[in-house]
Amino acid sequence: MSNANILLGVNIDHAATVREARYRGLGQKFGPIVEPDLIEIALFSEKAGADGITVHPREDERHVQKSDVLKIREVISTRLNMEMAATDEMMAFALEVHPDSICVVPESREEVTTEGGLDVVGNFERVKAIVNTAASAGIVTSLFIDPDSDQIAASADSGASHIELHTGAYANAYYLENGADEFDRLLVGTKQGLDLKLKVNAGHGINYTNIKEVRTIPNLHELNIGHSIVSRALFCGIADAVREMKSLING
């Protein structure tokens, strides 16, 4: 069984990682003086079929800068999805940027990329406050969570309209004996989310191989994919990398 018209959100954080490896500390972040130019990456991605651009500005600005987010908001014609920590500072920035959607994620200073899902149960009041503040501004909220029954139920109770199931454990287990078990967790989690009237997205560790199985999860709304697309772009360019992934998602 496969889906039709699953949306593709292209996360361009790690294009910024490449830029910062060479130009960190340089005041100029756009144009011919720096490469890759994140604005061009975003524009090439949407022209190649991306349904949205995802960015994750972190407190220490290790890759995407706040100036990147503001500039991308100005120039893209598709949706902007901003991943963010559950902090007052990032909520204030989201209100300044006014992305089409936010995805609330856990955040650790030590990690290179987001590892593990948000603990909605343990931080329910803070998460609910963010959902309400975003809704008042007309911003859609998704919660990045593990496919755990309690977390899914709490996400629905918070008022969020979307969840993004963390597929990292599945991706790590894909070639191992427990790969099928992790896939089953995604199936069960997706069904629970849909039963609770949530739109279900998925992301983290999805690549050009496991996408052929991920896309069979019924009624997924959107997949947010970054590292694998940026990696493929090293060989074929960002436009072809996005087109290939979009083709694999929807067969």
Q: Which residues are catalytic?
A: 56, 83, 204
**Collapsed DSSP state (helix, strand, coil) of residue 222:** strand
The Cα angle at residue 111 between residues 108 and 113, in degrees rounded to 5: 105
45 to 56, 77, 231: CA distances (angstroms): 16, 11, 14
Two tokens, residue 3: 């889906």
**Collapsed DSSP state (helix, strand, coil) of residue 53:** strand
CA dihedral 204, 239, 243, 104 (to 10 degrees): 30
Q: Which residues face 101 on adjacent strands?
A: 81, 140
